[in-house]
Amino acid sequence: MKIVNRNEELLRDALSCIPQPSSSRTSLASCNKLIRFEDISAAAFKIQCGVQKTPCMYSRLSKQYGMDIYLKREFLQYTGSVKERGVLYLLMSLPQDQQRKGVIVASDSNFSMAVAYHASELHIPVFLIMSTNTAPARLKMCREYGATVISYGTTAKDSQVHARRLAQENAYLYLEEEDSAVYLSGLGTVGLEIYEQVPKLDAVIFPAGGHCGLLAGSAAALKHLNPHISVIGVESESFPVLQESLKAGHPSEDQACNNHNFYGDVSGVCFGNNSLQLTGKLVDKVVAVREEDILISMLRLLEYERATVDAEGAIGLAALVAGKLPELKGKRVAVVICSGNLELHLLRQCIAHALTLDNRVCRFSLVISDCPGDVSKLLEILAREEARVLEIKQERTFVTSELSTVEVICTVETRDMIHTAQLRNALLERYPTTAWTER
């Protein structure tokens, strides 16, 4: 497919002033060039047999947020991430002699998992250097994809130094996630698919943050096809690296992420001038959301869509959950759910925390007389109010009130905020000293 219009000039302007990287690292930085719509179309044709054409489906959340929401389910890719699109096109574009020699990556990210899988599928030798702190499940998964995985060093920097040394000694190509035109073109195929799948689109929402190649590449495709479609990026308030970089005019490295396990690939800074210039020229808006909004978004996707996603996958919907985009009310909006790689123990923590934030799990304490039947009366009230008891404890030793009393600490689950308020009023009416644990 080839569609030519005046937006070709816009794409050329976006990259016309980008300096070529001066780094001598063994990577694909030297392959940076103008990204054109034809590049994205060529990438779509070349990778069509290697990645999923994921569905973009109408969401049951639409009525709740007052707009027609379509979810682009990129977490359904084989490795659970949209990064496969860019990685596959990047690997297929390597010279044959380099494919024979192999590639090496130093990361525990979605990018490295995509390299592990697709390099193995293309019969390219692939080596992954990961720190000793990498989750065992991720190490196991990459080995099952077919990569040779080596644990080295206690930090990501240690792994990177070791990988670069091995690349130099063995003529491997050292790969890291960057914004070469090849990689961006592969990621931009998401924009093509959304445009084909959802007619009369008003806006598309993408994750942004430290990894904005998906946002930049897809914006290039969408703005070429229809300049009236709003392209919106969403990042975390904790480290608004993209907004800071756009203000400064160059990639900012002042923001740091103190919760890498939760934020994953949207943390840190890895985009270059190509992504930044494209974003500045083609993206209509970049907004930031709180961690609480991301957690609620993860909960909504799990309950309404049966989609188990990570922070990167949920951050786009979080902008709608937080009411950051009121101008989209009544519009037709696509949201890219780009990743679903969350460790199980962290998933449990996220859902538990999200339920408390959503006022559906609450805790209270009250003091009652230590007489037979008094706890039963409390449970009767909870049953009448249809609250589900998750945990109940009785404390006698450290109670500061009368000797014949007992402190009851209870954790319950409710339907929603209104139900929680009703329960609270019922308890305060019977037990005026009831104390609620504030979240």
Give the 3-state secondary structure of the chain: CCCCCCHHHHHHHHHCCCCCCCCCCCCCHHHCCCCCHHHHHHHHHHHCCCCCCCCEEECCCHHHHCCEEEEEEHHHCCCCECHHHHHHHHHHCCCHHHHHHCEEECCCCHHHHHHHHHHHHCCCCEEEEECCCCCHHHHHHHHHHCCEEEECCCCHHHHHHHHHHHHHHHCCEEECCCCCHHHHHHHHHHHHHHHHHCCCCCEEEEECCCCCHHHHHHHHHHHHHCCCCEEEEEEECCCCHHHHHHHHCCCCCCCCCCCHHHHHHHCCCCCCHHHHHHHHHHCCEEEEECHHHHHHHHHHHHHHHCCCCCHHHHHHHHHHHCCCCHHHCCCEEEEEECECCCCHHHHHHHHHHHHHHCCCEEEEEEEEECCCCHHHHHHHHHHHCCCEEEEEEEECCCCCCCCCEEEEEEEEECCCHHHHHHHHHHHHHHCCCCEECCC
Whether domain 37-81+181-354 has CATH 3.40.50.1100: the reply is yes
CATH topology for the 360-436 domain? Alpha-Beta Plaits (3.30.70)
Per-residue pLDDT, 155:
87
Shared fold status for 37-81+181-354 and 90-175: yes
**Cβ within 8 Å of residue 306, ≥6 positions away:** none
Give the pLDDT score at 24.
Answer: 34
Average pLDDT per 10 consecutive residues for the chain, totaling 439 residues: 38 40 40 77 96 97 97 97 97 96 93 96 96 90 95 90 95 91 96 97 91 92 97 92 87 61 67 85 96 97 96 96 97 97 91 94 92 92 96 82 84 94 94 87
- CATH 3.30.200.210 given to domain 90-175: no
Q: Where are the domains of the chain?
A: 37-81+181-354, 90-175, 360-436
Task: Report the C-alpha gap between 409 and 393 in whole angstroms.
Answer: 5
Residue 331: Cβ-neighbour burial (10 angstroms; 0-12, 13-18, 19+): middle
